[in-house]
């Protein structure tokens, strides 16, 4: 397994739309293993393939305390959502930036698992937030895109200043 470099906002590759996985082969299985290792090492509780510059509809999530409950979502589709929740979000592609984002409280998501079997999952709470956050990535969106233009400008300026300092 390998650690993969995570794209940083405002990298334009984060805006690319991921394409469906047509065949679950060894390359997809290796991508999932590398994404999982990268997520755990970051550390994070989710990671979308877009963030590691692979524009395929693959997401890994583990919201468990013990970090022993890896969920793999291939070609995920949210079929239903209900309710509303607002929570503080961060993003491995936008380090050091946190902001409140409004999400659906509950989602029903259909996806393919690593065995190619179609699954459906009813999720709420943090898992529902994470699924929505990762599916935004697959659609070329980061959580900053949900914020006001003023906040987005301030975040871009802050990250640009950070980049100059660390260059």
CA quadruple 66, 4, 10, 21: dihedral, nearest 10 = -90
The yes or no reply on residue 90 touching ligand K2U (CB under 6 A) is: yes
Closest-CA residue to 54 (of 33, 77, 40, 68):
33
144 and 158 Cβ atoms separated by less than 8 Å:
no
Query: Should residue 91 be labelled a site residue for Zn ion when binding is judged by CB under 5 A?
Result: yes
Select 86 or 118, whichever has its Cβ closest to Zn ion. 86
**Size of residue set near ligand K2U by CB under 6 A:** 15
Whether the CB-CB separation of 97 and 158 falls below 8 Å is answered with yes
23-82 binders of ligand K2U (CB under 6 A):
44-48
Position among 18, 128, 130, 135 found at the interface with ligand K2U (CB under 6 A) = 130
What is the token pair recorded at 110? 């259909």
Q: Tell me, yes or no, if 134 is annotated catalytic.
A: yes
**CB of residue 5 vs Zn ion: minimum separation in angstroms?**
15
Stretch that binds Zn ion, among 31-39, 89-97, 112-120, 146-154 (CB under 5 A): 89-97
What does the alpha-carbon distance between residue 143 and residue 90 come to, in Å, rounded to a whole number? 8
Binding site for Zn ion (CB under 5 A): 91
């Amino acid at each position: 397994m390998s650690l993969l470099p995570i794209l940083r906002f405002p990298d334009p590759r984060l805006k690319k739309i991921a394409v469906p996985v047509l065949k679950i082969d060894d390359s997809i299985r290796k991508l999932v293993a590398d994404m999982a290792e990268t997520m755990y090492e970051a550390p994070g509780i989710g990671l979308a393939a877009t963030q590691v510059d692979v524009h395929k509809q693959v997401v890994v999530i583990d919201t468990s305390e013990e970090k022993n409950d890896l969920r793999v979502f291939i070609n995920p589709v949210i079929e239903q959502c209900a309710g509303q929740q607002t929570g503080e979000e961060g993003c491995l592609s936008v380090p050091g930036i946190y902001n409140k984002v409004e999400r659906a409280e509950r989602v029903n998501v259909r996806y393919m698992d690593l065995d190619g079997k179609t699954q459906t999952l009813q999720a709420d709470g943090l898992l529902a937030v994470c699924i929505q956050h990762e599916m935004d990535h697959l659609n070329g969106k980061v959580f900053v895109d949900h914020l006001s233009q003023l906040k987005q400008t301030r975040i871009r300026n802050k990250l640009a200043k950070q980049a100059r300092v660390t260059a």
